[in-house]
Amino acid sequence: MLEALGLSPLASAVYQAMLDHPDFEVERLAEACAATAAQVHDCLDELGRLMLVRSSSEHPGRLRVVAPEIGLADAIAREEAELAARQAQLATSRAAVARLVAQRADSRDANGERLLGMDAIHRRIEQLAGAMTTECLGVHPGAHHRPEDLAAARAADRGPLARGVVMKTLYQDSTRNDPHTTAHAHWLLSQGSEVRTAPVLPQRLVVFDRTHALVPIDPADTRKGALHVSEPGIVNALLDLFDQAWATAVPLGAVRADDPETGLTDIERHLLRLLGSGLTDTAAGQRLGVSPRTVSRLIASVMERLGASSRFEAGIKAAQKGWLAA
């Protein structure tokens, strides 16, 4: 039940038993959960770290359970604060990487090479994939992906997957409505890969064995070409960017819970922040990988919940409620 908060299944069972039987001591909790007393003590340590149990004032030396409406709300608030911090760090890293890549774009030394056109990109991917031994990380923003590009990726992935290479792939939430991308993602999962999605992603990126990376020359048109870099400083910055984006994404198939306080979905919250930063509907939709019609529908839904008759009024009310906070 509480595994999403970092609890083990047994600790979750002990918490439920304590809620059902607040007078149970360790021995009876162990009996109820088919565990040993030592295991229950370990579980109480886990629950204590999440502040789901506290010292009893009535029975010194014992612990009392914290009601879920209090303890779980606090735990979720801490998770949200950590997520917001990671997202802020991700935004900072994204800007730093963009500067590094821009500085590198005109360089042609031994550690970097411009690949012009999709054929050149596919050839380099085939070469790097053929030499991979451990891991491939990919970020693929956009709501839709061309079937021929997905087919080329699948052909390049088969060999590394057969050799046991670990593949971690990030898609945008909006791709869950694209049958071609969804089918490819499920194929990756069937091969033992990991696939996650997020409302907003950094630029397109592929990293091979944490030593070679491909990034687009022009993020606005990734088909123009890519820059192949292997300088440790740039590759490490790209790895940090990927790790931060991965930490804020959810596994394919998982459902994002609405914010318990605001009722906002994750994509609605990101849309409010993008519009609040001055982006137009079209630009915000492109960042989220959704159509202008979807942007209008999401805005209308938020305005209705705020009781706002205009976007200006909605922006003021959202700010007053703290909905635009990072």
117-147 residue pLDDT tens? 888 888 888 888 888 888 999 888 877 788 8
- Give the chain's domains with CATH numbers: 3-66 (1.10.10.10), 76-251 (3.30.870.10), 266-320 (1.10.10.10)
Angle at 52 between CA 27 and CA 85, to 5 degrees: 145
Q: Crossing angle of helices 9-20/37-49, nearest 10°?
A: 90
**What residues pair up with 170 in beta bridges, in sequence order?**
139, 196
pLDDT band at 71 (very low <50, low <70, confident <90, very high): low
- Chain-centre distance of CA 195, in angstroms? 10
- What is the Cα–Cα distance from 150 to 187, expressed in whole angstroms? 11
What are 178-221's pLDDT values in tens digits? Answer: 888 888 888 888 888 888 888 777 788 899 989 899 888 887 77
Q: Average pLDDT over the chain, rounded to whole? A: 77
Does pTM surpass 0.75?
Answer: no
| pLDDT tens per residue across span 244-296 | 888 877 777 654 444 555 566 667 777 777 766 666 777 777 777 677 777 77
Range picked from 107-116, 200-209, 269-278, 312-321 for highest mean pLDDT: 200-209
pLDDT band of 109, cuts 50, 70, 90: very low
Question: 10 or 310: whose pLDDT is higher?
Answer: 10
Q: How many residues does the chain have?
A: 326
Q: Encode pLDDT of 73-104 as tens digits.
A: 666 676 677 777 777 777 777 777 666 666 65
- Residue 121: exposed, middle, or buried by beta-carbon count in 10 A (0-12, 13-18, 19+)? buried
Q: What angle do CA 111, 117, 122 make, to 5 degrees?
A: 70
* Contact between 161 and 192 (Cβ < 8 Å): yes
